[in-house]
Structures are given as structure tokens and as C-alpha cells.
Chain A
């Protein structure tokens, strides 16, 4: 098979698997810091119990994020040598700063955060938690700067076919970067909020009524309910930014085949790229014009302006709809749960049962969003600078096919085990309670990797 397609699927599979875990750790670090602050302020053990339970999830997610991230850093070279050859002068420093300012910080202080509670002062342990959270966020900052630069390159010039930076400030703060960064950080917050809520809901359904469970549940529900409207607003602004800088992507997201006024908002359709039209279209007249141009007769760019130079429509159209649909579902569920908590009621069981699978809603929406923006950049790897097809390496299709199959199998197994461990941790917490904090009494490792009884 074609090494280009296989390499794309392989990198797509790797980065999809990878992003699941940073999406958790970026925000979970800050949630852990919140638990730690709440414990420091109130002295209530329940907060520290919540901390110890979720620090295990953090450790697990972090490990999966590290190993899949290392894989990606090598795949730049093994599969996409043309990428670094062309834009290495830009991508290199951004990646280097990510390693230097984020990776080491996270990795070193993670050890203290996990195992150091009894070895360092409480203040130092809080500082370590902060530095880990800060490190994960710095990592997001640099990698999103690079990704956004690939979407909307700025601050560079081409010399002999190689990109050279002319203005680093413009490179980092390129036009789409601020929106993409905020959108992703909030996505991470939502993913963690729904994961914590789901984990706690599962414990509740299994009969757990511990104070630490309730505190975590409320934390998850409140973060989710607060962030989701903000995210919808920011997503809209991000979309308008994309319309300005990558109109062909928005045209594909809306499956709008012609530049015209009164563009309908397509709710459902099967975009047919051969015939360049939508089948089975269900649409709200003037909807897309209204959203994108704030006027029913606003002219919206269509795909006919970009024939041969626009992304595949079907995938972008549907990925976008899955993201928005999941977001709306998150709005309904988190507000319903927040309303119950606000009224001081126990959450109704049907809602709790719904919240458990919604624990993965953040993953679904994040992946769908990334598919929208990344497939939406095609056929370019770096918009206007380098086409994906020109970056692929000389490795044979059979080699890539073999490694792709192996990665897919490995990732499938790891994902199943990861989710299985989360359920196991929830059941164990129900049966045995959360790990006791009481620094004077706990004569054991404070996180699980070194415990014999686990």
C-alpha cells in the first residue's frame, strides 16, 4: 500500500492515542492543586483522599502520555523527514523549548508529587504539584504554538525552499494560536471535569457515600457546568478566526460547495465529493450566513473557490458535527447535575447512569475537534508552505503497514486496560475507601506504583 496513506494513518493513530492523555493531565494537574489547596486551607482529610485517588489517575495518564509522546518525537524523523527539512528552523526551537521548559519540569517533580508527601514539607509538596501542573500547561503552550503555526504560518520567510524565522514573536503568537490554545485548555478542563464526575457517579451507583467522593463529584460537575458555555463561546470565536485565515476549512466544515449569500446551516447531509453536492441535506435556511457573517444574506466562501486545494469534505463535516453535538450534550448533562446539587438534592439515578459514559465525552469532543482542524488543513502539512505528500519519508509501504498494525493493536490493548484500571480503582475505592492521608499514621507509599498490596 501507499506509504503516504499508511504514514498518515499511523501518525494520526499515534497522535490520537497520545492526545487522550495530555488532555487529562493538563487540567488534572490544576484540579489536584485545587484539592491540595482545599486540604491546606480546611485541614479536611476528604480533600487529601480525593487528591490521593486522583493522583493515581494522573500518574497512569502521565505515563501513557509520556510513552506515546516519545513515539511521536521519533516519528517526525522515521516517517516525515521532509517536515523538519523544510520547517525545522521554526519547529525545532518550539519543540526544544517544550522539552526544556516543560518535559523535565513535569517528569522530575512528578516523582516528588507521587512519592514525596512524607519526604518533603507539605509546602514543597504543594509546590511540586504546582510545578507539574505548570509544566503540563507549558507543554500545551509550545506544542499548540507549533500546531497553530502549521495552520496559520507567520513571522518567517522562505530561502531556497527552507523556512527561516524572521520574527519569533509572530511565529509563536501566530493568528490562530490564542484561540486554539484557549479552546484546547478548556477542552482539557471539560474532559477532566466529566471524567471526575463519571468516576464519582460510578462510585455513588456502587453504593459509595464517602465525603471525598462527594467533593470530587461536586468539583467535576461545577467545573463542567462553568466551562461548557465558555467553551461554546470560545469555539465560536475560534471558528470565526478560522473563517478569516483558512476559509476552505470552514467551507468543508459547513459542506458549503458554492460561494454565495444566504448559506443554510446544514444539520445533516452526506457530502458527495464526486458530484460536489450534499445528499439527504437537512438545513436551516440562512443559518451558516447568520453564524459566520452575522447576517442572513452574508456571503460565505464556498468550496468552489478552492477546487483541488481543499480538505476532504465528508470527514471534516462530520467530525465538526460530532464535536458540536457532544458539546451540547455536555451542556445539558452538566447543567442538570449542577442544578440538582445547587438545590441540595441527591442526583437522580438515571442522570448518574448517564454521567458514567459521559466520562468519555471530553475525549470524543477533543478528538473530533482535532480531526476537524487537522484534516481541515489538508492537503497542506504547513498551510501554503509544505504539502503532506511532500514530507513523507522513503520507508517502504510494507514496513509502515507492519508497524501501523502493531501500534494499533498495542494502543487498543492499552486503552482497554487503562479504562479497566479506572473502573477497578473506582470499585476498590468503594470497597476500601480512598487512601488515608493522615501523615502521622500512613506508614506506606502514598501513591500506588510501589505498593505491594495493590
Chain B
């Protein structure tokens, strides 16, 4: 049997879209988290915190554009259904991202006495964006259901995703800062972790309970066996992070990147779980990736470009992270 391009292409694009959502959640997750932590930081720490994300946030947000773009171009039918169903939370997220993005620049360029108000908007924008993304995740997990229950669950996931981003932000600060701010960041990380665990637990329980199909996928015999490592490893990593972070920051600044890496793996595992649950649907229980996919010839021409360009993008993104590697303690960028 030959390789069947028309059925392989939607699968490849679902993978690419999932990958860019995951990269977005990890990368912009720490940006948004740092923004949320503005609420807890002292004024003199805010410039350093901005310094830790300054050169990156633009490129990080571009992964969201790629994810939305891939949904748009590869699964045009799903794009319409999902985004019209999520009209208001998408709107809230966009307002949040607008506020966050412009406040980032305005706070540094307006007259000094107005800087405080843009700091507040930077925090508010980051929080709104994080909350609305969480709300969308919650509603999506319930199969885009409507009603009070779905809204309530949406708000619960909203809080937990915001907490997870906050944990990412704190972990990033542990890596990029030192001294008093780094010590504070450890405290922030531990507080945010509690809600993160709660959120992942809530989503993990709600997903199978909301759909008998997903329930059967997880709780059928042999599948259960080889799926078991997913929740177990996640739980183990949370435990490791909790214990390790208790002794951070290390005097020689060892393990500074550990919380961030651990959280990234946890996010990836959670994401893998979701992907397994929803496959092969892109609109839960309504449209599979094959039903929603664009024409194969259009997908093929995008894929050709993607395979060539994506490695280049990843290469120069890594280059940029290396250029701005190390601590961002003071504000001089030499």
C-alpha cells in the first residue's frame, strides 16, 4: 500500500498546529506570566522583569499567529466553527494581547509620571489574555458546550491556566534574574504551582467525563496500561519541582533553569494527553481533521514551504535566545 498523501496531509498539519500551540503556550506563557507577576513586584523590579522578556515577546506571540494561521489555512471549516463559538473570549483575549503589547512599549516611552498607568495595563492585559485562553480551553474541552455549567468550568480553567502561566513566568524569572528578585520568584512559583496542579487535575477529570468517547479511549484495557505513565510522570515531575524549588535559589545558581524545563515538560505531557483525547476531532465530536481540512494541493504547497522555512525559523529563534542569554539583572543590554 502506497503512502496516501490526501489523508496524511491533514494529520501532518494537525501535528504542526499542535506543535505551534504548544510552543506558543510555553513561550508566551512565560511572557504573560511575567506580566501577571507585575501585580506582586515592586516598582524597581519591573524594569528588570521587562528586560527578561523584552527581546523575545514579539517572536513568542508570532507562534499564536502561526497556530491560528494553521487552523485558518489547513482547517478552514473548523476555524469558522470554533472562532464563532468562542466569539467573546477571543475578543477578550485580543484586547488583552493588544493592551499587553502596546503597554510594553508605551510604558518605556511615555513621560515618567504616566509610566505607572501603563504598568497597570501591562499587568491587566497579560491577565486578561491568560484568563481568556484558559476559558477557551475549558469550553473547548467540554466540546464547545453552552450553558451555566460550561461557563463555570471555563472560569475555573481560566484561573488555573493563568496560574500555570504565572508559574512559567516565575520559573523564567528564576532563570533570568538573581538576588532578591530571584528569591521572590521562587516564592511566586510555589504559590502558583498549587493552582496549576488543581487546574491540570480539573481538565484531566472533566475531559473524559464530558465525553463518553474520550472516557472509553482512556479507560479501556490495554490502552490504560500504556497511557498510565502520562499522568504518573506528570505527578512525579510536579513533586520533583515542589521539592527542588524549596531549596532554590542555589548559592552557585545551579538548577536555575530546572523549574522552567520541568514546567515545559509538564505542559507538553498535558498537551499530549489532550491531543490523544480529541484525536481525530478538531471540533470536538463534530468535525474530524479530515472533514475540516483544506484541499490537498493547497496543503501540499504550504507544507513544502513549511518544511523548508520552519527549521530556519527555529534556528534563528535559538540564535536570538543565545544572543540574549544569561542574567538580565541590570538594564544595560551590552
Residues of chain A having any CB pair with chain B under 8 Å: 56, 59-60, 62-64, 66-71, 73-74, 76-78, 81-82, 84-85, 88-93, 95-97, 99-101, 103-112, 114-120, 162, 164-165, 168, 393-395, 399, 403, 406, 410, 414, 417, 420-421, 424-425, 443-446, 448-454
Contacts of B294 in A (CB 8 A): 88-89, 92
Q: How far is the CA of A114 from the CA of B58 in the complex (A)?
A: 12
Binding site for A on B (CB under 8 A): 47, 50-51, 54-56, 58-59, 61-62, 64-66, 68-74, 76-77, 79-84, 86-88, 90-91, 94-95, 97-98, 100-102, 104-106, 108-112, 115, 294-295, 297-298, 301-302, 305-306, 309-310, 313, 316-317, 320, 323-324, 331-334
Partner of A95, one of B73, B86, B106: B73
B102 lies within 8 A of A64 (CB): yes
Asked if residues A108 and B83 are in contact (CB atoms below 8 Å), the reply is no
Known contacts: A92-B73, A92-B298, A424-B111. The answer to whether A111 contacts B80 by CB under 8 A is no
With both chains docked as a complex, state the minimum distance between the C-beta of A292 and any C-beta of chain B, in angstroms: 37
**Cβ contact of B108, chosen from A64, A104, A449, cutoff 8 A:** A449
15 contacts between A and B (CB under 8 A): A59-B105, A71-B98, A76-B72, A77-B80, A78-B87, A82-B80, A92-B302, A93-B73, A99-B66, A108-B59, A114-B55, A165-B298, A395-B84, A449-B104, A451-B331
Contacts of B331 in A (CB 8 A): 444-445, 450-452
**Chain A minimum-CB-distance residue to B313:** A104
Contact assessment for A118 and B61 in the assembled complex, using a CB-CB cutoff below 8 Å = no
**Could you say which of A115, A164, A393 contacts B324, with CB atoms under 8 Å apart?**
A115
Question: How many angstroms from the CA of A109 to the CA of B323 in the assembled complex?
Answer: 11
Structural contact, B69 and A95, CB atoms closer than 8 A:
yes
CA distance A89 to B71 in the complex (A): 13
A157 to chain B, nearest CB (A): 11
**Smallest CB-CB separation from A417: which chain B residue?**
B106
| Distance, CA A107 to CA B320, complexed state (A) | 10
A56 contacts B109, C-beta separation under 8 Å: yes
Q: Is the CB of A70 within 8 A of B61?
A: yes
Contact B64–A96 (Cβ < 8 Å) = no
**Contact assessment for B332 and A444 in the assembled complex, using a CB-CB cutoff below 8 Å:** yes
Contact in complex: A92, B72 (CB < 8 Å): yes
Given A89-B298, A93-B302, are A76 and B79 also a contact pair (CB < 8 Å)? Answer: yes
Q: Which residue of A lies closest to B334 (CB)?
A: A118
Q: Are A421 and B101 in contact (CB under 8 A)?
A: no
Inter-chain contact B58/A450, CB cutoff 8 Å: no
Q: Cβ of B305 and Cβ of A119 under 8 Å apart? A: no
Within 8 Å by CB of A67, from B70, B98, B111, B309, lies: B98
Q: Is the CB–CB distance between A449 and B302 below 8 Å?
A: no
Min distance, Cβ B302 to any Cβ of chain A, angstroms: 5
| Bound Cα distance from A448 to B47, whole angstroms | 11
Are A74 and B83 interface neighbours, CB within 8 A?
yes
Contacts of A410 on B, CB cut-off 8 Å?
95, 98
A393 near B102: Cβ-Cβ < 8 Å: no
Find the B residue at minimum CB distance from A399: B87
Q: How far is the CB of A275 from chain B (nearest CB, A)?
A: 40
Question: A448 touching B109 by the CB < 8 A rule?
Answer: yes
Whether the Cβ atoms of A70 and B80 lie closer than 8 Å is no
**Measured between C-beta atoms, what is the minimum distance from B35 to chain A in Å?**
14
Residues in A with CB closer than 8 Å to B305 are 93, 96-97, 100-101
**When the two chains form their complex, are residues B323 and A120 in contact, meaning their CB atoms are under 8 A apart?**
yes
| Majority secondary structure of chain B interface residues (helix, strand, loop or mixed) | helix
B residues within 8 A CB of A92? Answer: 72-74, 76, 294, 298, 302
Q: How far is the CB of A130 from chain B (nearest CB, A)?
A: 13
A-B pairs with lowest CB-CB distance, top 7: A81-B80, A92-B73, A77-B83, A111-B55, A88-B76, A84-B76, A118-B334
Q: Is the beta-carbon distance between A393 and B80 smaller than 8 angstroms? A: yes
List residues of chain A with CB within 8 A of the CB of B86: 78
A108 touches B108 (CB 8 A): no
Residues of B within 8 A of A403 (CB): 87-88, 91
Give the docked Cα–Cα distance between A451 and B48 (Å): 9
B320 lies within 8 A of A112 (CB): yes
Interface contact A99-B69, CB-CB below 8 Å: yes
Flag if A99 contacts B62 (CB, 8 Å): yes
Considering only CB atoms, which chain A residue lies closest to B60 in the complex? A107
Distance in Å: Cβ of B294 to nearest Cβ of chain A: 5
Are the C-beta atoms of B56 and A78 separated by less than 8 Å? no
A414–B320 CB distance below 8 A: no
Across the interface, do B76 and A70 meet the contact criterion of CB distance under 8 Å?
Answer: no
In the complex the two chains form, what is the Cα distance from A380 to B103 in whole Å?
Answer: 38
CA distance A91 to B324 in the complex (A): 36
Taken together as a complex, chains A and B put the C-alpha atoms of A381 and B308 apart, in Å, by: 32
Partner of A450, one of B51, B64, B313: B51
What chain B residues lie within 8 Å of A62 (beta carbons)? 58
Contacts of A76 in B (CB 8 A): 72, 79
Do residues A95 and B72 form an inter-chain contact, with CB atoms below 8 A? yes
Given A99-B65, A394-B84, A399-B88, decide whether A108 and B320 contact each other with a Cβ distance below 8 A: yes
Let me know if A93 and B105 touch, CB within 8 A: no
**A93 contacts B301, C-beta separation under 8 Å:** yes
Q: Contact between A68 and B98 (Cβ–Cβ < 8 Å)? A: yes
Q: How far is the CB of B121 from chain A (nearest CB, A)?
A: 10
A164 touches B297 (CB 8 A): yes
In the complex, what residues of A have CB within 8 A of residue B94's CB? 70-71, 74
Given contacts A399-B88, A454-B108, contact A85 B76 (CB under 8 A): yes
Q: A393-B80, A414-B102, A424-B109 are in contact. Are A446 and B333 (CB under 8 A)?
A: yes
B54 touches A60 (CB 8 A): no
Asked if A67 and B97 sit within 8 Å, CB to CB, the answer is yes
Are A449 and B59 in contact, with the CB atoms below 8 A? no
Residue of B nearest to A87 (CB): B76
Beta-carbon contact of A454 and B112 below 8 Å:
yes
Q: In the complex, what distance in Å separates the CA atom of A109 from the CA atom of B321?
A: 11
CA distance A72 to B58 in the complex (A): 17
Q: Smallest Cβ distance from A66 to chain B, in angstroms? A: 6
Which residues of the other chain, B, contact A85 by a CB distance below 8 angstroms? 76-77, 80
CB-CB < 8 A to A445: which residues of B?
51, 331-333
Bound together, the chains give a CA A74 to CA B77 distance in angstroms of: 14
Query: A96 and B73 in contact (CB under 8 A), knowing A66-B58, A107-B59?
Result: yes
Chain B, residue nearest A168 (CB): B301
Compute how far the CA of A85 lies from the CA of B101 in the bound complex, rounded to whole angstroms.
31
Q: Which residues of A contact B68 (CB under 8 A)?
A: 70, 73-74, 77
Verify B80–A96 contact, CB threshold 8 A. no
For the complex, give the distance between the alpha carbons of A84 and B91 in Å. Answer: 19
Q: A78 CA to B88 CA in the complex, in Å? A: 9
CA distance A365 to B161 in the complex (A): 44
> Which A residues lie within 8 Å of B297 (CB)?
89, 164-165
User: Given A68-B98, A92-B72, A424-B111 in contact, is the A73-B65 Cβ separation under 8 Å?
Assistant: yes
Give min CB distance, B85 to chain A, whole Å: 9
| Known contacts A63-B101, A81-B79, A120-B323: A104-B59 contact under CB 8 Å | yes
